[in-house]
Amino acid sequence: MKTKFTGLFLVFFTIVAFAQQEGQYTQYMYNTSVINPAYTGSREALSIFGLHRTQWVGLEGAPSSNNIAISSPIGKNVSLGLSVVNDKIGPSDENNFAIDFSYGFPISENYKLSFGLKGSANILNVDFTKLNIYNPGDPRFQDNIDDRFTTNIGAGVYLNSDKSYFGLSVPYIIESKHYDGTAPSGADTFIASEKMHFNFIAGHVFDLNPNIKFKPSLLTKVVQGAPLSLDLSGNFLIYDKFTAGLAYRLSSSISALAGFQITDGLFIGYAYDRETTKLADYNSGSHEVFLRFELVKRNVKIMSPRFF
């Protein structure tokens, strides 16, 4: 009973405080265009990516996410990407559809600079009947949110060489509000608005020996009204086939990551997160798995392709 009550409370608090905010991915480094459109096409290949994340296993109403994306260069210096993300948190179900455009060009012998734009549309549904409402007559929960449609735009810049990368982005610039206009007066104050997230990413590949590479990386998120989010990770690439590493999310969780290059174009990855907060008492961790398939042109050479 305690676990159920706590789960429902946390789910409701999540909807109130953080609904419509960016998803959190441990393996963001394999699908960076979700947070930075300028990354789109940087791998110089047709890339098809699918990810599933189950968060806080054992906690009722915990978040889950599914992400499908495809991207490819479509001309000289120009790339295009499409993605669909479904996020579920308790009674809420959100679908995000996005188009990413990037334009990149070399600025030196080793570095390429890319600028990106993102256009997205969200469809939000919230079924309040899935909550345990102790006052059935509360006017705040009488009307569900059905197919609430909003649009947004984003932008980013991405600088990379064959060994290093840096990126700065704002995936959602418009601070739109999400509430049901037919709901009783005052109900809109209980659905959060979407805030601007400023993301910074960076990483570098070190050749430890001919068969082992090491890449430390970081992701920093800054958003008004929330603590600084900082992800630090370190991954080893062994014989260009196996990846293994650890990650730490500031004041949140620690993670183990692993991956395997099945064929030249097919890569699978897995991550397990364990909370470092009191929330760990109410769940058995989070699981994230992805599959990436790529078609690379024969005349294109990709440096450090399995890291970024």
Q: Which CATH superfamily is domain 32-174+196-295 in?
A: monomeric porin ompg (2.40.160.40)
38 pLDDT higher than 70: yes
pLDDT value, residue 10: 44
Going by C-beta distance under 8 Å and a sequence separation of 6 or more, which residues neighbour residue 196? 170, 172, 173, 175, 223, 224
238-245: average pLDDT: 94
H-only helix segments in 19-131: none
pLDDT confidence tier of residue 1, bands split at 50, 70 and 90: very low
Q: How does pLDDT run across 262-304, given as a tens digit for each residue?
A: 998 999 999 999 999 998 999 999 999 999 999 876 555 544 4
For 221, phi then psi, to 5°, come to -120, 135
3-state secondary structure the chain: CHHHHHHHHHHHHHHHHHCCCCCCCCCHHHCHHHCCHHHCCCCCEEEEEEEEEECCCCCCCCCEEEEEEEEEEEECCEEEEEEEEEEEECCEEEEEEEEEEEEEEECCCCCEEEEEEEEEEEEEEECHHHCCCCCCCCHHHCCCEEEEEEEEEEEEEEEECCCEEEEEEECCCCCCECCCCCCCCCHHHHCCECCCEEEEEEEECEEEECCEEEEEEEEEEEECCCCCEEEEEEEEEECCCEEEEEEEECCCEEEEEEEEECCCCEEEEEEEEEECCHHHHHCCCEEEEEEEEEEECCCCCCCCCCCC
Domain spans of the chain, in order of start? 32-174+196-295
Helix/strand/coil percent split, the chain, to 5:
15, 50, 35
pLDDT confidence tier of residue 137, bands split at 50, 70 and 90: low
Q: Which residue has the higher pLDDT, 139 or 121?
A: 121
Q: How does pLDDT run across 61-81, given as a tens digit for each residue?
A: 899 999 999 999 998 899 999
17 pLDDT higher than 60: no
pTM here is 0.85
Q: How does pLDDT run across 142-151, given as a tens digit for each residue?
A: 677 788 899 9
Tokens of 306: 């399995």
